[in-house]
Amino acid sequence: MPQNRASGILLHPTSLPGRFGIGDLGPEAYRLIDFLADTGQSLWQILPLGHTSYGNSPYMCLSAFGGNPYLISLERLVDEGLLTPADIDKPPDFPKDRVDYGQAISYKMPLLAKSFEKFKEQYATRYPEDFYTFSETNAFWLEDYALFTSLKEAHNGQVWTEWEEGASSRQLDALLQWRNKLAENIEFWKYVQYQFFKQWLALKSYCHGKGIRIIGDIPVYVAHDSAEVWAHRKQFHLDEEGNPLVVAGVPPDYFSATGQRWGNPIYRWDMMAKRGYRWWTDRFRTNFTLVDMVRLDHFRGFQAYWEIPAAEPTAVRGRWVKGPAIALFNAVKDALGNLPMIAEDLGIITPEVDNLREQLGLPGMRILQMAFGNDPKAPEYRPHNHIVNCAVYTATHDHNTTVGWFTSKPGTQTTQTADEVEKEREYALKYLGSDGSEIHWDFIRLALSSVARIAIFPLQDILGLGTEARMNLPGTSQGNWKWRFTNDMLTPEIKARLTELTRVFERSP
Catalytic residue set: 297, 344, 398
Contacts of 388 (CB under 8 A, 6+ apart): 451, 452, 453
Q: Which of 83, 425, 36 is nearest to 417 (CA)?
A: 425
SS3 407: helix
Please tell me the number of Cα atoms within 13 Å of 348 on its side-chain side: 15
User: Using H for helix, E for strand and C for coil, what is the string for 53-77?
Assistant: CCCCCCCCECCCCCECHHHCCHHHH
User: Is residue 246 within 8 Å of 309, Cβ to Cβ?
Assistant: yes
Q: Could you give the CA distance from residue 208 to residue 198 in angstroms, rounded to a whole number?
A: 16
Q: Could you give the CA distance from residue 427 to residue 369 in angstroms, rounded to a whole number?
A: 12
Task: Find residue 250's DSSP bridge partners.
Answer: 260
Q: Could you give the CA distance from residue 132 to residue 150 in angstroms, rounded to a whole number?
A: 20
Q: Work out the widest C-alpha separation in the chain, in whole angstroms.
A: 72
> CA of 105: how far to CAs of 113, 146, 158, 218, in Å?
12, 18, 18, 24
SS3 427: helix
User: Is residue 36 within 8 Å of 502, Cβ to Cβ?
Assistant: no
Rounded to 5 degrees, φ, ψ at 466 are -95, -160
* DSSP per-residue letters across 112-141: HHHHHHHHHHHTSS---HHHHHHHHHTHHH
CA-angle at 376, arms to 372 and 379, nearest 5°: 50
Q: Could you give the CA distance from residue 64 to residue 260 in angstroms, rounded to a whole number?
A: 21
**Cα(first)–Cα(last) distance of the chain, in Å?**
14
Instruction: Give Cα 428 distance to the centre of its chain.
Output: 29
